[in-house]
Structure 1
Amino acid sequence: MSVLRFEVTGMTCGGCAGRAERALAGVPGVAEASVNLATRMATVETDKPATDLRDALKTAGYPAAETRIRLSIDGMSCASCVGRVEKALAALPGVLDARVNLTTQTAEVLILTGSVAPATLAQAVTKAGYPAQVMEGDTAPDPAHRQAEEAAALKRQTVIAGALTLPVFLGVMGGHLIPALHHGINGTLGQTGWWLVQFVLTTLVLIGPGRRFYRIGLPLLAKGTPDMNSLVALGTLAAWGYSTVALFAPALLPETARAVYFEAAAVIVTLILLGRWLEARAKGRTGAAIRHLLDLRPDLARVERDNGLVEIPFTDLQKGDVLQIRPGERIATDGIVLTGRSYVEESMVTGEPAPVEKSEGAQVVGGTVNGAGALRVRAEAVGADTVLSRIVAMVEQAQGAKLPIQALADKVVLWFVPAVLVITALTVLVWLTFGPGLTHALVAGVSVLIIACPCAMGLATPVSIMVGTGRAAELGVLFRKGEALQRLDSARVMAFDKTGTLTEGRPALVHAVAAKGFDADTILRLAASAEQSSEHPIARALLQAARDVPAPEEVTAIPGHGLRARVEGQDLLVGTARLMAREGVDTTPLSDAMFDMETAAQTPVLVAVNGHIAAAFAVADRIKPGARDAIAALKREGVEVAMISGDARAVAQAIARDLGIDHVEAEVLPEGKVEAIRALREKFGPVAFAGDGINDAPALAEAEVGLAIGTGTDVAIESADVVLSSGAVAGAVNALHVSRAVMRNIRQNLVWAFGYNVALIPVAAGVLYPLTGLLLSPMLAAGAMALSSVFVLTNALRLRRLQSALAEAPAAALMPQPQEATA
């Protein structure tokens, strides 16, 4: 049994501590439990996993505090390494979950707060054979820097190994192809002298550049947990050892078996180093998206101080600082515009190409590019609190995720290396028993050891996730949880909230019809003038659409109906049909237009001038630009599209008809949205739901995948698996597009990796030799193994070229084109 001490939250009195203590004591396998209210710490003696204790406290209402710790790990080269590191971490008391990312060479460990020291986690991994250190805040090693260093070291070792191997390879292979070269070498050096040269050069390769395989692989082999390095070490040492015996103690071998394979050992090490160098270079490109996002931050910010303007590093910015942004400059941090007017290019954060107008009171995001105007901005968020920093954090978390599809690969790989050793032993035994002799047994055994390396299996999933989620961020889609990648791929229904998701969430002028003899633009100016002092959303919609609005001469409100005003010498009535009827204004000339507006769930605003009906303006919650194209694209993908709204049924159905949505649930309360999602799941299958408001949070959590509109509330975003940072409906299509592309890429990688090993291990073992007389050379096996990993990485890197699923829809005109009534 082990004793755990960890923090408990939610306790306010002795009764709370007692209930928490009883909850822990009730867990099967707990020998003793005590909870101290003053220190908020629990002490438990148990042989059960920490997850059981966490679940018991959560059920009792006093959750255990959890801490997430990141480790930087060296020496991992394949999926079996990942499995061993995760196993070493999971074995420690207090660890709730451990996830290791082969691509970034990091581990993320979730522990009960206070139960285990971070240094203990690093020591456990180091003891397992993989040197580790704790990553703490800004002192954490930069993955890009580490990958660059790794690539540089591997390049250097590959060049040295290649320089030492080339004379051996050319001498041996050239001697087979060109008899004169073979005779020339034997005539000058003699066979023993030539073998001695091979021994010296090959030994230098093995103890120099090849030392990394033996330093890691042999200790793990001794512990009974061999990895890919162990396979390479065994294969090359077998070839080198056999050749060394043939050179220095030939009497120990039969005369027919006295041959050397120094070139095989040297070439194997060189080729595998070459493969790892190519892998390291490719891995360096997988994190390009995050580096691109980080590069968006300017190095310096221009800040107002008492003594004038000063330039300071953006890392020194404080909340409340006032920044001056010149035309064309990047904005250093998130803030509010104090003065100035400009257009800001936000595509690097939102994925939307059109610049956004910014004026006093508007929010700006750090990393975006200012247009032609100058701005004064007050910093509202700095450091880790900025939008850009949160995006980077989300992407990093998603890139480190382990998808369910990877579980099978991990289980296979964990047993793969031991299985390869058994197959190798059987191969050698069969060749010794039934084959031509020891030489063939050695060649076949070494070939099996080398070609069976499971590097490609370990890389198949994480590199695709890393590249795919990074590219998704550049398209304005942030996967907060990596698992959402796989779940979204299986979604059969995409359900949307209406207000703020499919629509803009505020009334706008969508249609204008003028009576005969009147001009819609002119009437709109007059009506907007009358509405200037009103705060009603419909009045705001008219004001926003109008231009050059004059000041009214007088305005009188008519509660519940509208208002009466005098503008530019004209007497105006602005309001409902009831107001026109009360004032005796004949609305017959616009009756058809009013009927069409009401049928489309639009609010008609009527305007009479000097007692005559002049125009009807339709005000409605405008559909977001690109929403129709997005819905059509989802249907083409074979996804059912539904709308769930709390609005009146007539309004919801009108919007659905306009967008081409077939399944509508209207007049639904927040808890009713959860039931609606369950009904859709029963009818069609897994559901993805997109929403933006607090009332959407339960539905976002209920759906298999919740997509939050990035312009929505923090509550909605926290409940979601995916954040659509642009706020556009097209983001949902891009999220599905990325998910399907990444999962397709992962399946391709896994099929290749598994298929490669399944197909070539028997070939390496020599099953084709009785039929063709061909035996796979260990050198060719090393080359094929290296190319397998490079293929997987190259295939994953294709995701960097992934394009948006939709061509950008043209922006809707701010002012609708007026139509003249035929009446």
Structure 2
Amino acid sequence: MKHQHHVEKPAKKEKMDHSKMAHSKTKHGSNPTMGHEGHNHAMMIADFKKRFYVVLALTFPIMLLSEMIQQFIGVEWQFTGSSYILFALSSIVFFYGGWPFLKGLVDEVKAKNPGMMFLIGFAITVAYVYSVAVVFGLQGMDFFWELSTLILIMLLGHWIEMKSIAGASKELELLVQLMPVDAHMVMPDMMHDVKTDTLKENDIILVKPGEKVAADGVVLEGESYLNESMLTGESKPVQKGKGDNVIAGAINGNGSIKVTVSHAAKDSYLSQVIKLVDDAQKSKSKTQLLADKAARWLTLIALVSGIGTFLYWYLTGQSLAFAMERMVTVIVICCPHALGLAVPLVVAKSTALSAKNGLLIKNRTAFENSRKITTIVFDKTGTLTVGKFEVSKVVSLQKELLENEILRLASALEQKSEHPIATGILQKVKELSLPIPATENFNAITGKGVEATVEGKKILVVSPGYLKENNIPIPDSFEVNDTETVVFVLINNALAGFIALSDEIRPESAEAIKTLKQNNIKSILLTGDNDKVAKSVSETLGMDSFMAQVLPHQKLEKIKELQGKGEFVAMTGDGVNDAPALAIADVGIAVGSGSDIAAETAGIILVNSNPKDVVNLILFGKATYRKMMQNLVWATGYNVIALPLAAGVLYNQGVLLSPAAGAVLMTVSTIVVAINASMLKVKS
């Protein structure tokens, strides 16, 4: 039985750094860094769009003035100075349209990290310099129309790509926009509208029907249904009344509620989620590092192949213009554009989508590793069961002692605990309107229960394991069913009675276990409860096995045992007394952490304690990894086929790619990767 509920929570291993999250908000109430980044991104999209249209307008006269195009359409529009007009128009295209790429080239050279911009900048510079030389006397044909169409398509590709990135991060922006800008603060004599980010702990705010909750807090007055779906993925509105917790960003139904603010906006659950999603999108997993490495190699291959192609054709007797054209085409087609986007787009999309569905990713590698899970260890209470214990039986073992007296004394010890068993006992005491006495010399017996002095008597509320260890015989009259959890009450070391509580199995649990089975993933129940309860729950749900009477510190050993058998283990726990087990598991999943999303050691946090979310997480992890692999295969496979064609391998068969065709192929490749990433969905 998990009864370590009186022990203080261990210190968090990692706290979210809220100091970095500035207090001020943009017009949507977002944190300013997000707003600033979003604004910059929008400006860059607008810049590429403007450059694209200017280059498009100039490309038409450039093509009409180009000798090769004139030959192709059978006209001759050459006139004195036409080559200089062509040079002037192309120079505008090169310096204005090509500016983002030229700037990128310089930046990458400075950073000693040549990449995509370096390749594009290098290719257009070679084409431009050669064409200018032709205008001023070098024998050959200029490249101006190819240069213009190449820059045009590159600008279009970048514009589309940036819009795709903006789309992938849109879910995060939507989360940011959930926080309302203003709040109705209740003053002693009046109501006063204030900025959300000025709210402090213990302020009282009014949330009117249809409005968003402005801060995390506790309902002080009123009743309403709240829609928390954008925060937790839970589609059904949740009923809230006095004493219930509410989350900032939730949408109020048709009742008015007054809320006591728990903490400032910067520490709200929503702010933490935004920070978490932002960090996860920026963090790199092994797949991302693999893609980065491949992109660096592709840059090197592009340069070597480009120069090699130039030398081959030039030294085998082709014209300088032909050799240059082949080099430019190879370098353009080899740009690791699609490869550079293959993983980041999927990362941005998956992380934000997860947050909207109540799956918060703290560690990208843990999320990607979820596809390898062979065994899931479920902590019983609150995950597979509702976690809401109700007193089903109170039995006195001493004739002169009433059942209510046993409950009253037990409640004195349980009043300081948040454990589900304690909550169940206190709920019963509240229903019976029994007064709760004070305690002295309170002490928690790790994993076994609690003890204290109440009204001069030594009272213990303990698990059956404690009785066994201390050789206290369990009376013959002791009888509970398989699903009940029992605590014994001792008065002055004499067994006084017991309280039986039952915890209902969640309706979603059986379906979740069935889906895991279909995916060849074993499910194991881990609980501090006795064998009878564990066996009953395990068999009811059709789980593979169970581990009963496991104390918190033994959970770690059980996970190690499974790993020793070659299993890839995921552990789901509440993130407090399960911290060591969550840390040692291959994938640690903290469940039911509610607004405490900085659960110590878990790589992934599930906002709801729903076992279906664990299944969704694994299936989504697999889907995300599949998308990454598809994108990587597409991005590299395209280069393997296109590069030889660009180099002129099939030149003798009459197949030759122009630089513009190469740019089109590269852009199409990028768009395919972006569309594929955008099709990622969380199945629920």
Q: TM-score, normalised by structure 2?
A: 0.79
Counterpart of 2:266 in structure 1 is: 384
Secondary structure class of the residue paired with 2:210: coil
* 2:27 aligned partner: none
Which residue of 2 is the match for residue 409 of structure 1? 291
Query: What is the distance in 1 between the residues matched to 2:514 and 2:219?
Result: 38
Residues 243-642 of structure 1: pairs in structure 2 closer than 5 A: 243-249=131-137, 252-253=138-139, 258-508=140-390, 598-601=481-484, 620-642=502-524
Corresponding residue of 2:117:
229
CA contact (8 A) 2:269 2:595 kept: no
Opposite residue 164 of structure 1, the aligned amino acid is L
CA–CA distance in 2 between the matches of 1:706 and 1:539? 26
What residue is the counterpart of 2:94 in the other structure? 206
**SS of residue in 2 equivalent to 1:199:** helix
Identity %: 33
Alpha carbons of structure 1 residues 304 and 718: separation in structure 2 relative to 1, 3 Å? same
The one-letter code of the counterpart of 1:247 is V
Shift of 1:506: 3.0
Do residues 146 (structure 1) and 40 (structure 2) align? Answer: yes
3-state DSSP of counterpart to 1:285: helix
Structure with the larger strand share: 1
Decide whether the 8 Å contact of 1:631 with 1:659 is kept in 2.
yes
| 1:146–1:360 Cα change, 3 Å | same
* CA distance in 1: counterparts of 2:209 and 2:106, whole angstroms: 61
Are residues 551 and 683 of structure 1, via their aligned partners in 2, closer, same or farther at CA, if it must alter by over 3 Å?
A: closer
Q: Distance in 1 between matches of 2:114 and 2:673?
A: 23
Q: Residues 460 and 651 of structure 1: is their aligned pair in 2 closer, same or farther, counting only changes over 3 Å? A: same
SS at match of 1:496: strand
Matched, 1:796 2:672: no
Task: Label 1:370 to 1:510 Cα distance change in 2 as closer, same or farther (>3 A).
Answer: farther
* 1:88-118 Cα distance to aligned partner (Å, 9 max, x none): xxxxxxxxxxxxxxxxxxxxxxxxxxxxxxx
The amino acid across from 2:670 in the alignment is: S
Q: Match of 1:215?
A: 103
Tell me if structure 2 keeps the 8 A contact 1:195–1:260. Answer: no
| Pair 1:164-2:164 in alignment | no
Q: 1:712 to 1:550 in 2, by over 3 A?
A: closer
1:540 and 1:381 mapped to 2: Cα distance? Answer: 24
Distance change >3 Å, CA 328–CA 233, structure 1 → 2: closer
2:70 counterpart (169, 175, 181) = 175
* Residue in 1 that maps onto 2:447: none
Given that 1:217 and 1:230 are in contact with CA atoms closer than 8 Å, whether structure 2 keeps it comes out as yes
Instruction: Indicate the SS of the match to 2:668.
Output: helix
**What amino acid does structure 2 have at the position aligned with 1:464?**
V
Partner of 2:668: 787
In 2: Cα distance, 1:139 partner to 1:755 partner: 37
- Does the 8 A contact of 1:696 with 1:716 survive in 2? no
Partner secondary structure for residue 717 of structure 1: coil
The TM-score normalised by the length of structure 1 is 0.66
How far apart, in 1, do the equivalents of 2:606 and 2:16 lie? 28
Q: Shift of the alpha carbon at 1:240?
A: 2.4
Would the alpha carbon gap of residues 467 and 314 (structure 1) be closer, same or farther in structure 2, given more than 3 Å must change?
Answer: same
Structure 1 CA distance, aligned partners of 2:59 and 2:289?
A: 39
Q: Distance in 1 between matches of 2:600 and 2:146?
A: 56
Per-residue CA deviations over 1:782-803 (Å, capped at 9, x if unaligned) read 111122222212211112xx13
Are 2:655 and 1:774 aligned? yes
Question: Which one-letter code corresponds to 1:785 in the other structure?
Answer: M
Corresponding residue for residue 688 of structure 1: 570
Aligned partner of 2:475 in structure 1 is none
CA shift, 1:534, in A, is 9.2
The separation in 1 between residues aligned to 2:512 and 2:676, in whole angstroms, is: 28
For 1:193 and 1:410, locate their aligned partners in 2 and report how far apart those are by CA, in whole Å: 48
CA distance in 2 between partners of 1:769 and 1:202 (Å): 28
Q: Counterpart in 1 of 2:453?
A: none
The unaligned stretches of length 5 or more in structure 1 are 1-62, 72-136, 512-527, 553-593, 605-616, 806-823
AA at the equivalent of 2:481: E
Whichever of the two has the greater Rg, that structure is: 1
User: SS state of the match for residue 598, structure 1?
Assistant: coil
**Number of matched pairs:** 591
Partner of 1:83: none
What displacement does 1:751 show?
0.7
**CA–CA distance in 2 between the matches of 1:230 and 1:803?**
37
Q: Looking at both structures, which has the greater relative contact order when contacts are Cα pairs under 8 Å and sequence separation is at least 6?
A: 2
Return the letter of the residue paired with 1:178. Answer: I
Shift of 1:766: 0.7
SS at match of 1:436: coil
1:531: Cα distance to partner? 11
For the Cα contact (< 8 Å) 2:104–2:121, is it kept in 1? Answer: no
Q: Pick the aligned partner of 2:606 from 716, 719, 724.
A: 724
Shift of 1:372: 2.1
Post-superposition offset of 1:619: 5.3
The answer to whether residue 537 in structure 2 is matched with residue 643 in structure 1 is no
**Deviation at 1:174?**
5.7
* Contact 1:531–1:539, Cα closer than 8 Å, also in 2: no
SS at match of 2:192: strand
